[in-house]
Structure 1
Amino acid sequence: MSLNLKYSTVGQGEHLVFLHGWGVNSGVWSSLVPLLEKDYTITCIDLPGFGQNHDQLPSVYDLDNIGKCVADVLPEKCRLIGWSLGGLVAQQIALTCPEKLQQLVLICSSPKFSKSQDWPGIQPQVLEAFTQQLKHDFSKTLERFLAIQAMGSNTARQDVKTMKQAIEAYPQPSVIALEHGLNLLHDCDLRAELANLLVPCHGFLGRLDSLVPAEIGASLERFSSRITTQTLSKASHAPFISHTSEFAEQLKTILN
């Protein structure tokens, strides 16, 4: 399934591709990109139904189709960097189209976002509540979700403001994409498949993250010898916003 996905590209050098998280768009990368564009060619892709691609939806909004749609527009042998839900999509691409990637980088992302007896994560009831709230007021639902993402950060209020300002420069997301995106966070589980990972992967985790607990790091490394992780001691769910300069340097180290 192919969609006419829009994307933006700046810089020069090796190809880095960034995928954003739920409810937002590629505007979230606006502070990070200027710190990287002198050394890398940076492509930011809005997921189907979000940002510039708010009107681009597959007939079935599931992880397989979203992964295929994004993979279709990736530059060859890129380093794919996914945050939160974008990291889930990036994992799917790495598992199904490894020939497209040179490296996978995950930022506060997980193969399984929903908490269960054998896995830490978001309480399923929280995701279900967001789905219900979404039907009544998207703006308030997004604000609450952004607040949870920033929770624990010393700059939480400013982080939320920064994210909100960045994403409001783009069109509002499709309600279909919002609802089905929450379903992906609730239902998807790629843990068993990570044993088949063929590309090197590095995961950044935030010690203060309440959505993707840093404790999953050890489990991720057990799933595959290709996976390494590091925990950012002062960061919550969006380290590239709360600690932009520090994160840029950490990312460059991993990429090099």
Structure 2
Amino acid sequence: MIFYESSHSQSPLISRTYGAENPNAVDTDKPVLVMLHGWGLNSGVWHSVIPLLAEHFTVISIDLPGFGTNSRQLPKDYSLAHISEWVSACIPMASIVLGWSMGGLVAQHIALQAPEKVKRLVTVASTPCFEQKADWHGIKPNVLNAFEQQLEADFGKTLARFLAIQALGSPSAKADIKQIQRHVRKFSAPSPVALLAGLQLLSSVDLRHTIASISCPTLRIYGRLDSLVPADGIPLIQALQPDCVSKIIQHAAHAPFISHPREWVELIVEFGT
């Protein structure tokens, strides 16, 4: 494992590279897979699947600004455009870019704004628009508002509740939550600014009218039991990006790489190699 600091003058984000003979130069025959985590968490969520993925890919794991190793790195304007610009600076040309949940918003935005960086796109339990609309399935606005209010009072309880919702419906829900918490706690606590701004991104970002312009091959992986990205909304996403490949893991919820790691890895290996 090596640490890589982006040369981008305004975004010295740190990433971690796995599975490359010479990670500093990323000169390997393996495809490069860049992984972006979701809200409130960090690269620790990938702990159990990185060894499996590193057999097939050079894996680069990036903590989003304000989270994990990059908890002290914050753009002045915590917008999707600025976050994506910072993260993009860490991504080698022609990478496979994978984003889970909120990280999927960043991955989609990079695919749209910096297509030279994204050879293939993978979203996991993600969507172009997280908030429920009159014509769109998603998270109810009052749920996101409640998280924002609770966040100010107690981050720990807010995150625990958010994790519980993520695992809701999974047969291994309790074990899933414990596994995520165990590995995430090895990293620095997230920035309060990034936590609040991240929730606001989940409630405000709407890429529905732009994802048809994503030019690279796209794989979208869902959990059928996911309450944050409901399965009945998958056809709506597919209609907006007809060329994407949609795969549903039947007994998974919002974190299929935790509850069904081998099935999840197989989908990515099939798509990316």
Provide the TM-score with structure 2 as the length reference.
0.92
C-alpha separation between the residues in 2 aligned to 1:93 and 1:167? 25
Percent identical: 46
Match of 1:243 among 260, 266, 269: 260
C-alpha separation between the residues in 2 aligned to 1:30 and 1:96? 29
Q: Does 1:153 align with 2:170?
A: yes
C-alpha separation between the residues in 2 aligned to 1:70 and 1:233? 31
Contact 1:2 1:72 in 2 (8 A): no
Contact 2:42 2:184 in 1 (8 A): yes
| Structure 1 segment 11-26 matched on structure 2, within 5 A | 11-12=19-20, 13-26=30-43
Q: What corresponds to 1:95 in structure 2?
A: 112
C-alpha separation between the residues in 2 aligned to 1:151 and 1:38? 31
Q: What corresponds to 2:186 in structure 1?
A: 169
Q: What corresponds to 1:68 in structure 2?
A: 85
Range 193-202 or range 151-160, more displaced:
193-202
C-alpha separation between the residues in 1 aligned to 2:125 and 2:189? 24
Q: Does 1:34 align with 2:58?
A: no
Q: CA RMSD in A?
A: 1.0
Q: State the Cα distance separating 1:251 from its structure 2 match.
A: 1.6
Range 210-219 or range 94-103, more displaced:
210-219
Q: State the Cα distance separating 1:216 from its structure 2 match.
A: 2.4
Letter in structure 1 aligned against 2:67: F
Q: Does 1:221 align with 2:231?
A: no
Q: What corresponds to 2:147 in structure 1?
A: 130
Q: Does 1:112 align with 2:129?
A: yes
Task: Name the SS of the counterpart of 1:246 in structure 2.
Answer: helix
Q: State the Cα distance separating 1:220 from its structure 2 match.
A: 2.0
Letter in structure 1 aligned against 2:85: K
Unpaired stretches in structure 1, ≥5 consecutive residues:
none
Q: State the Cα distance separating 1:240 from its structure 2 match.
A: 0.2
- How big is each residue's C-alpha offset from its partner over 1:192-244, in whole Å with a ceiling of 9 and x where there is no partner? 01121111111001110000012222222221233121111111000000111
Q: Does 1:49 align with 2:61?
A: no
Task: Name the SS of the counterpart of 2:99 in structure 1.
Answer: strand
Q: State the Cα distance separating 1:39 from its structure 2 match.
A: 1.6
Match of 2:213 among 191, 196, 206: 196
Contact 1:220 1:227 in 2 (8 A): no
Q: What corresponds to 2:17 in structure 1?
A: 9
